[in-house]
Structure 1
Amino acid sequence: MNRVSLNDLSKNFDEVNPGLSNREAFEEAHRCLYCYDAPCIKACPTGIDIPSFIKKIGSGNLKGSAKTIMSSNPVGASCARVCPTEELCEGACVLNHSTKPIMIGNLQRYATDWAIKNNPVLFKAGQKNGKKVAIVGSGPAGLAAARELALLGYEVTIYEAEDYAGGLNRYGIVSFRLPKKISSWEVQQVEQLDVKIHTNTRVGSDILANELVENNDMVVLAIGMGKVPMLDIEGEDLNGVYDAIDIVKETKSGELTDRFIDKNIVVIGAGNTAIDAATCSVRLGAANVKILYRRTQAEMSAYQFEYDFAKQDGVEFRWLTLPIRIIGKNEKVIALECVRLELGDVGKDGRRQPVLIPDSNFTIPVDGVIKAIGQTRYKDLIEQFELEHNDGVVKVNSETFQTSNPKVFACGDVIFGKGLGEAMVVTAAQQGKEVAYAIHKQLNI
């Protein structure tokens, strides 16, 4: 496979949104009503004092603004870019009733971008209390837990299996929406609080679960989720079948290849990861990209702004379509056989269930198939910790996030399952904070 130069394709992965200019930020900040008991604060899972940080932008106190944001949200720079603000803070803005909401996400980005560029010291580690906490995973939940524990004086060590810390924000969100330098800065903010981060260290093999439990006062499990599961259809082993997580991860590493140039690519699934894989494919030079989903647009799990972005990129959507066979020639993908569906009765999950339409088979010529039908769970590691779980979703106390092992707490995607809320970067960060407070309370009774 020939590698193309970064000059050829890397510019396609530059951040799409340029952010606010100084003048735009100043004018937008002065549109804010600085509401007492502001509904935008209540709509933010991390409880950022939004009127306060906006007012500080308006007065030119950008360090104070960034500190206000980051105090509440340890991954506030990332969330400024990836939060569904129209559903959260901006959706709650009182100006929705008269004009248009304050661009809270863009103002949050403006303040945190200033902090990234100027790198002021925002926080200092708390006085050491002699207690140790190990954190498994360095995504939003793990970083948030580490930051709060460090501020409270704990000796914190993070164990990360990948080359770099940051988890989802570093590897799992496309760079043209979230450049890796943003996540790197948030990691640095945690490291500056004397938090040790061991990368390329896989808990379960490089270090055993019982070692962490025995050698620390508490352990936080923030391991997220793994690869995309198998489709369980014929032809899945052919060359040209890809994992959406791997595709996004490769583009964030900067090692771009020419394998998608002028190709017809199909993405199976309609979540945010599927959208990311599709828009990455466009930027990797694909001639045509289609997303296939077995339900309709109304049931897709991707955010509306993600869907709109994909449509702007020229991605096609084929609803009520189910792939049943990947067809190959000389061990390479050449086509995808599908059937048409219709929605039937409402199932246990509250959604109408897809029903096969007889004799509706059809074939799509394709050069590549990207799987994006969810992610697997790290069950082996969960069981090495001997934790109670439901098919890989760790069971926790809803108030303390404590697992069946009193010394182990869990947060983020590892405790997320159907009916347990919405998995977002911002909610993972809040859970990490709450875990830190719960540990602090338990160790200081």
Structure 2
Amino acid sequence: MSSTSDSSTTLPTTLSAISTLIGYIGTEVATPHTTFHRILWPQRAYNNFQFPSSSSSSSLSLRNIFIPALLMPLGGPLHTAALKTIDQFFARGLFLGPEMGGMLGTAFFPDQGGEYHLPGGGVGKVRNGVWVRVLERVGLGGGRCQRRSISGGGVEGGKVRKVRQKTWVNRLVLSVHQGPGKGVKKKKVVCVEGDVGPMTGRILAGIVLTEITGIGVAIAVAVVWRSAWMVLWVVPLVLKLVSAGCWVPREGVVVEDGGGCGSGKETKRYMVTSGHGFQIIEGPPQMVQQFFRHYGHPRRSRWQELVQIAVVIAFGLNFPVGLVVSTMWMPIGLQCVWTGYVLYVTMVMYVSRYAHGEWWLTTEERLADALIDAEEHPGEVLVLFKGGEDCTLAVELTRTVHNSYGEAKEHALLLRQPPLPSSDHPGDVQSEGSTGNSEKR
């Protein structure tokens, strides 16, 4: 009798201690920009979610099902990340009133950081540079061309040159797509939708799939325990859908004076340096610079901002409230289920943090996958990006990998030089030294 009484007292105490420990070990795993930027900008966060179809590969279909379903729930401890996010809102003055404060550097519009350089010596801030992030994702994605385009190495002065640090140089050419042209019909056209438009059923389906585990547990709780506490498992889904329903409008590529999103033949080459190598982004200045500056910036709408701020606060309160409820009012079996589920979510948050989960299902991942596909099938794939209602861009990537940082920098400085004056199209420009120089080294 005494043994039964002791066990019935010890188990709830143990579960409470485990839940508190989960709060400690899980509270730092979520980062404000990664976690809440995904919630506040679902069009970008779920742009690569695709319904499985007969045209997609089986690996892609499985990936689109299992990654969001098993590795992307948000029912764990987010109170620290939420507090840091709210601190950002407060520091940037978003609580001062309508159209007050700035969104750059918050979860609404994270600051990419870094600078871009022009051949003439001009320097600008990258801010929310989507193409910089795409090229970083390309580097993580690999590709056959990357492995076979290695410069450097070999023998020099009778000695084998050592590989110090493999560093890649990316050259991304953006141009205005003028519609089907010569040879286009023979190519596979991959058109990536922009992430500044309205919410779509595909985006909402991706959001629902990320919380499918919580939905399943809630159904089990309702069937087995017939308890109203089942709502605790669907709170994250409800909050995500509320945020998606009150999405903040964002700026696309602006068409200036009816001249398109980068009319004219003038092109410039912008060099961006980061920990992932050297990046040369080439295209019409009035188009490329929009991606460095204001593309994706929220258009101010006070009530939508307030709803999304409230969603962040609610996510921060979700775990502490669940902990109190489970400890004080849940039956022991249901308390075990709640603790086990929170532990599961915390573990997958750690997995996603160190498995590049910030890229999963995003616009950057979708563009990077398309560019890698085009790289592995030269001349067979045309990659397009719809940057706005009146602007579709053609995107072309070439890259080389070098065996030292110095070689990569030298090659990037050559590519940084202005395009040849005789070129009629930025994509037709052959970079000075892009081939011969690479082979020479």
**TM-score, length-scaled by structure 2:** 0.22
Higher RCO, 1 vs 2 (CA within 8 Å, ≥6 residues apart): 2
CA radius of gyration, larger in: 2
**TM-score, length-scaled by structure 1:** 0.22
| Greater fraction helix | 2
